[in-house]
Structure 1
Amino acid sequence: MICLEVYPWILDFEFSSVDGFGRLFVALLSGFITGSLYLAAGKNARAFWLGTDQIRSKLPIISCGWFAQALFYANYVLLGFTTLLWINPFAEILINKNISGSKGTQTTRFGGKKRQRLVGNIGMAEADFIQFRLWCLWLSGMLQILALRANLQTFLNEAVLSWYQRLHASMVPEMEYSRAKVFLHNHYLCVAVLQFFAPAALMLLSLGLSLVDDGLFENFQGVCGILPCSAFVKEVAIFMAWWVSFLWFVFTSTYLAFYRRGILYIS
C-alpha cells in the first residue's frame, strides 16, 4: 500500500523510474525487512528500557554509565527526527520556498484534495534540506553502531537482572530459570550482535548505494535492459534506508509504550 498508493501523498520520495515490476519488488523487499526487524526491535526496546533504568531498580550491577545512557537517548531521538524528515507535512516546514532554487509556490494533493501550501517562509533551501536529511540518516546509523557495545552489555545485564529477581523473590529462590536465562543470553550473544548491527548496516549500505555515481551500473547490460539501473538503485536505496529507520523507530516506540503501560515487562 505504501509503495503503490500512499507514498505520493505523505512521503517525500521520487519514484519516477520505479513502476510495474519495480514497485512490486520494492513492496516485497519492504515486507521482508519489516518481518526481519520485528524481533530485533524488541531487543532494542528492552536494551533502552533497562539501560536507561526505566524500571527504577537502581542496581549497580546492571547500571549503565552516563555516556551509555546519553547514547541511548540520542540514538532514539535522532532516529525519530530523521524519520520525520521524509514525511511531507513536517518536511514542508523546514523548506524555505522563498530562497532561490527552491520549489516555489506549489499545490500538492493530500487526501484527494488540492490545498495551497501554507508553510515555506522558514527553514533552509531545498538543496540544503536534501543534504541535511542525508547527513541525519548517516549520523543515525553511526550512532547505532556506537551504541552497539552498550546494547550488548544491556542484553547481558537482562539475564543478571533475572538472576537477581529470582534470588530475592522468596525464601526459597528458584534458580534453575535464572541459570537457563544466563546460559541462553550468553549462547545467543552472536545473534544479538547481528540483530543490533543489522539495522545500522542496512541504513548505511542503502544510503551509500543512493549516492553512487550514475555510470557505475552501465556495464551491467543484462540487468539494465530490464530496469533503469542508476535511477532505480538510487531511488529504491534511499527509500530502503528511510524504511529501515522508520521501522526501527516505530517498532521500538511500540514496545516502549507496552513497557510503560505494563503490558510487557522485563523478567
Structure 2
Amino acid sequence: MFHIKVLFSLTTHYFKVKDGGEKSVCVTFGFFFFVKAMAVLIVTENYLEFGLETGFTNFSDSAMQFLEKQGLESQGPVSKLTFKFFLAIFCSLIGAFLTFPGLRLAQMHLDALNLTTEKITQTLLHINFLAPLFMVLLWVKPITKDYIMNPPLGKESIPLMTEATFDTLRLWLIILLCALRLAMMRSHLQAYLNLAQKCVDQMKKEAGRISTVELQKMVARVFYYLCVIALQYVAPLIMLLHTTLLLKTLGNHSWGIYPESVSTLPVDNSLPSSSVHSELPSTDGKMKVTVTQITVALSSLKNIFTPLLFRGLLSFLTWWIAACLFSTSLFGLFYHQYLTVA
C-alpha cells in the first residue's frame, strides 16, 4: 500500500541520521508496541470485540476441510499462537512507523491552540486530537456496545439498535472523525510554519551576531520540511480510511443505518462439473479439466477467506492504528508540554 510505503521511507530516513536520537526512539517505540500488541491479543472478546478469535477459527476449520478434500492430513495452516505472534510483529512495525507522526501531531496541536483565539476552533482542535481515542472506545464492549445494545433502562433492557446498525454507525463515525482531521489540516500546517518565527525570536535572544545567510537557511529549512510534515499528517489518515473501507467491503457491512440481514455463512459457489463441461467444446478435454479445477479452487478459497476472517482482522487493524496514533500523540503532548525547555 502506498501510505505504508511512504511511512516506511520516512522512517528509514531517521535511521540514516548518525548523530540524532531518532533511531533509538523508533526502536524503543517498536518494542513497546510489540509488547502492547501481545497484551491486547490476550484480552478476551468480552472486553475488546474484534471478532478475531471467531474469524481465525472459521479460517482454520475451512482450511482443514479444504486440505482433507485434497487428500492431505493437517491440523490447520498455522497455529493460533503463531498467527498472533506474526500479527504482533506487524503491529509493532505499524507502531514504529506512526511514532514520529504522532509526536509531530502533538507539537502542532499545542502550537495551533496557542495561535487560535476562537472557542469553536479550539473545541474542534481538542476533538481532533481525541478522535483516535473515540475510535478506540468503539471496540471496547463494556463501554460502548453493551450500553448501546442493552442500555440499563429500569428492570427491562430494550436494545436501541441491532448489531448490524451498530457496525454501520461505527464505520460512519470513523469516517466523520477522519474528515474532521482532514479539515483541521490547514490549522496544523500553519502552526508548524510559525516555528520559523519562533526560531527567529529565539535567535534574537542569543548573544553574538547572526549572519543573514544562517538566518535564511534556518527559515528555509522549516519551509522545505513542510512536505514531510504534510505526509506525516495525511499518511496515517489515509491508512485509517483504507482499513475502514476494506472492513466495510470485505467484512460484508453496509452503509445503510438499517441494513438488510446478510447471511455470514460461507456460500458454496462451486459450479457443477456438468455445467462447466457444457459451456466448453467437447473436443478439448484437457481444457475442461483445467477450467473445472480452477473454478473449484477459486470457490474453495472464497470459502476459506470468509467475511468473518476479514471482519476480525480489519477491525483489529483499524483499532490498532487508532490506538498507536493516540498513544504516540499523548506521549508527544506530555513531552512537548512538560519535558522540553521553552
Task: Give the TM-score range, shorter chain.
Answer: 0.7 to 0.9
Greater RCO between the two (CA within 8 Å, min separation 6)? 2
Aligned to 2:319: 242
Residue of structure 1 aligned with 2:169, choices 125, 132, 140: 132
CA-CA distance at 1:203 after TM superposition: 1.0
Question: Normalization by structure 2: what TM-score?
Answer: 0.58
Cα 1:223/1:174, change in 2 over 3 Å? farther
Residues of 1 paired with 2:244 and 2:147: CA distance? 21
Confirm or deny that 1:165 pairs with 2:241. Answer: no
Aligned to 1:210: 247
Range that drifts further, 153-162 or 127-136: 127-136
Confirm or deny that 1:23 pairs with 2:84. Answer: yes
Aligned to 1:73: 126
Confirm or deny that 1:12 pairs with 2:33. Answer: no
Aligned to 2:275: none
Cα 1:199/1:223, change in 2 over 3 Å? farther
Residues of 1 paired with 2:40 and 2:318: CA distance? 14
CA-CA distance at 1:45 after TM superposition: 0.3
Contact 2:51 2:311 in 1 (8 A): no
Cα 1:4/1:83, change in 2 over 3 Å? closer
CA-CA distance at 1:163 after TM superposition: 1.5
Aligned to 1:116: none
Residues of 2 paired with 1:201 and 1:12: CA distance? 24
Identity of aligned residues (%): 21
Mapping 1:32-43, distance limit 5 Å: 32-43=93-104
Larger Rg: 2
What is the DSSP-based 3-state SS (H/G/I as helix, E as strand, rest coil) of the residue aligned with 1:10? coil
Deviations 1:9-61 (A, max 9, x none): 531210112363543443222111100000111110000011101xxxxxxxx
What is the DSSP-based 3-state SS (H/G/I as helix, E as strand, rest coil) of the residue aligned with 2:98? helix
5+ residue gaps, structure 2 = 1-37, 57-78, 253-265, 270-294
Contact 1:159 1:182 in 2 (8 A): yes
CA-CA distance at 1:186 after TM superposition: 1.8
Cα 1:183/1:121, change in 2 over 3 Å? farther
Cα 1:178/1:86, change in 2 over 3 Å? farther
Residues of 2 paired with 1:43 and 1:258: CA distance? 11
1:131 counterpart letter in structure 2: T
Residues of 2 paired with 1:130 and 1:174: CA distance? 59
Residue of structure 1 aligned with 2:340, choices 253, 257, 264: 264
Count of paired positions: 234
Contact 2:103 2:329 in 1 (8 A): yes
Cα 1:178/1:45, change in 2 over 3 Å? farther
Residues of 1 paired with 2:217 and 2:247: CA distance? 44
Residue of structure 2 aligned with 1:88, choices 119, 141, 148: 141
Contact 2:103 2:331 in 1 (8 A): no
2:310 counterpart letter in structure 1: V
CA-CA distance at 1:8 after TM superposition: 3.3
Aligned to 2:31: none
Higher helix share: 2
What is the DSSP-based 3-state SS (H/G/I as helix, E as strand, rest coil) of the residue aligned with 2:129? helix
Contact 2:50 2:313 in 1 (8 A): no
Residues of 1 paired with 2:303 and 2:215: CA distance? 55
What is the DSSP-based 3-state SS (H/G/I as helix, E as strand, rest coil) of the residue aligned with 1:13? coil
Contact 2:138 2:145 in 1 (8 A): no
Question: Normalization by structure 1: what TM-score?
Answer: 0.72
Contact 2:247 2:314 in 1 (8 A): yes
Residues of 1 paired with 2:146 and 2:106: CA distance? 30
Residues of 2 paired with 1:160 and 1:139: CA distance? 34
Residues of 2 paired with 1:243 and 1:265: CA distance? 32
Aligned to 2:18: none
RMSD: 3.5
Aligned to 1:150: 187
